[in-house]
């Protein structure tokens, strides 16, 4: 668990990163926060926005939400509208209601869920739907916060990890699929990465740039990547160097261990997990 000051610092870093990426993509947006969530309002193409959010480290999931006030009838009507779009014959549904402000509405979360759930069952009785809170076919969420209620039905998984730049800087040597995954895993841990590679692996460097458009890429001859990495690491005073290097090669460069934190995040990963990471990275 991170301490409160550290969490607040990471939250600010993530907020800055989100703003910077939307500005870079020339997408107009408004964003509010409550120190637990980011609420982004934009009129841009949904798929474009989803593509951006899915590649921002520090975001674990995101949802497209309906924003309404805290009047019970408006919450109920919005939930029923979503249910009407999703429910089919024999659907198992669940309703999750959370309140972050006890004074924002007089009813408890359980009371709200019970009343709205009962109305959904009655309204869609002809479709023979049922309640399943553990493993429903569809789940509708309502989060009541201050003067707003946010209602949604999907949680789309994002990159997760820590905000870019929150855990120092590093060098990543890119010379193949395994090193691509190593670099991405370091970036996911919040390390601001500089990639050192050769022309042969330009495509991999550009893939990483999709995850950090500010990432610097330095090109060098294939047989000089490690020497170049050590040189740049000294000049930049970075915290770590990551790569996927065999043991015999590592023995030739003791500086990797003596002066820098050498990290190989892919050591010990199964082939199946490597393939899953690779698919996620290039998607």
Ordered by start, the domain boundaries in the chain are 4-64, 67-153, 169-282
Q: How far apart are CA 103 and CA 225, in angstroms?
A: 60
- pLDDT > 60? residue 39: yes
The per-residue b/e assignment along 132-159, b for 16 or more CB within 10 angstroms, e otherwise, is eeeebebbbbbbbbeebbbbbbeeeebb
Length of the chain: 283
Thinking of the domain 67-153, which architecture would CATH place it in?
Answer: 2-Layer Sandwich (3.30)
The fold of 169-282 is Rossmann fold (3.40.50)
Whether 169-282 and 67-153 are alike in CATH topology: the answer is no
Per-residue exposure over 164-182, b if at least 16 CB sit within 10 Å of its own CB, e if not: bbbbeebbbbbbebbbbbb
pLDDT at 104: 65
Query: Where are the alpha helices (H) located in 171-213, listed in sequence order?
Result: 177-188, 202-209
Q: What is the pLDDT of residues 143-178, one digit of tens each?
A: 998 788 999 999 999 999 999 999 989 999 999 999
Rounded to whole angstroms, the Cα distance separating 19 from 65 reads 20
Q: For 191, list phi and psi in degrees, rounded to 5.
A: -80, 130
Q: Supply the pLDDT for residue 148.
A: 87
Indicate whether 258 pLDDT > 80. Answer: no
β-pair partners for 140: 95
Asked whether 159 and 136 are in contact (CB, 8 A), the reply is: no
Q: Give me the sheet containing 261-263, strands edge to edge.
A: 217-219, 192-197, 169-174, 240-242, 261-263
């Amino acid at each position: 668990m991170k301490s409160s000051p550290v969490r607040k610092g990471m939250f600010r870093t993530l907020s800055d990163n989100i703003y910077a990426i939307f500005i870079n993509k020339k997408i107009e947006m408004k964003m509010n926060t409550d120190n637990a969530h980011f609420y982004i309002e934009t009129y841009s193409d949904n798929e474009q926005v989803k593509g951006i959010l899915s590649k921002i480290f520090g975001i674990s999931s995101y949802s497209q939400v309906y924003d309404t006030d805290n009047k019970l009838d408006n919450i109920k009507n919005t939930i029923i509208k979503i249910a009407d779009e999703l429910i089919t014959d024999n659907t198992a549904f669940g309703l999750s209601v959370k309140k972050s402000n006890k004074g924002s509405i007089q009813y408890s979360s359980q009371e709200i869920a019970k009343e709205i759930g009962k109305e959904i069952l009655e309204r869609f009785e002809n479709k023979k739907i049922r309640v399943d809170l553990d493993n429903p076919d569809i789940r509708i969420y309502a989060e009541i916060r201050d003067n707003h209620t946010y209602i949604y039905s999907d949680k789309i998984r994002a990159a997760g990890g820590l905000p870019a730049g929150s855990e120092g800087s590093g060098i990543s040597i890119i010379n193949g699929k395994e090193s691509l995954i190593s670099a991405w895993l370091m970036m996911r841990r919040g390390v601001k990465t500089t990639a050192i590679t050769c022309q042969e692996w330009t495509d991999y460097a550009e893939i990483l740039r999709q995850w950090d458009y500010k990432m610097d890429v330095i090109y060098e001859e294939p047989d000089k990547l490690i020497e170049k990495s050590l040189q740049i690491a000294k000049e930049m005073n970075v915290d770590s160097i990551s790569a996927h290097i065999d043991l015999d090669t590592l023995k030739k460069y003791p500086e990797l261990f003596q002066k820098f934190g050498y990290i190989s995040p892919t050591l010990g990963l199964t082939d199946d997990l490597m393939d899953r990471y690779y698919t996620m990275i290039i998607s």
